[in-house]
Amino acid sequence: MNFAPDLFSLAWHISAVIVGVGVAVWVVRTAPWHRLQDGHQLNALLGAAVILTLLWSLNAGVYPGLNLHLLGAMATTLIFGPQLALVVLALALVGITLNGSIEWSAYPINLLGMAVIPVAVSRAYSHLVGRWLPKHFFVYIFVNAFIGAALIVLIQGCVASLGLAAAGAYPVDLLLSDYLPFFLLLGFAEAWLSGMTLTLLVVYCPEWVASFDDRSYLMNK
């Protein structure tokens, strides 16, 4: 989803800026920057940002100011961890802002809706899965990557709809009938994208996936 700036009042934009600054400080202080000293990891991060920029540029407009596209938050969170995932998504958002898909004045509110909230929910979901379900390869791929990715998109749609309704941008009945249902379709596509990406990476390049430990998921150690 790409929000147009005129959908929200100045108070919403100021609040998004404050949250964004707080998240940026947290990322700078806690991100595992040492991982990027490895050229392969750095290339993977930048490559992911470019791929997401392209995916986010392929969007479908529903109503003025409302665009839908794949997200990639669960996959990036599993691969890079929450802090670096936020960096990837923030860079992708810069990319689509530079190509004119959104306006710079809408960058903070879109960062909140397309990066901060999805990554936070992705991290919480994967944490709960790791705590309550056995560490098994099938659980990691199917429950985290497939089901988790679809769930994150659905939650994003619900949060976006609530935000748009609270801001008075669109009536609730229109959002429920003509906007929110599209996230069900996006959820299926997101699940396949995330699941296939993580499957390939844990098979061929497991060292690139921050949340995957082959000793735990394959050797039960």
Give the C-alpha separation, 96 to 2, whole Å. 9
Residue segments in the chain with a per-residue pLDDT below the cut of 50? none
pTM, rounded to two decimals: 0.93
Burial 1-31, CB ≥16 within 10 A → b, else e: bbbbbebbeeebbeebeebbeebeeebeeeb
So what's the pLDDT on residue 218?
66
| Tens digit of each residue's pLDDT (9 = 90 or more) over 119-176 | 999 999 999 998 898 888 888 999 999 999 999 999 999 999 999 999 998 899 988 8
Token digits of residue 193: 């994208």
Domains of the chain, by residue range, sit at: 2-217
The answer to whether the beta carbons of residues 198 and 79 sit under 8 Å apart is yes
Is residue 166 classed exposed, middle or buried when 0-12, 13-18 and 19+ CB atoms within 10 A define those classes? exposed
Q: What is the CATH number of domain 2-217?
A: 1.10.1760.20
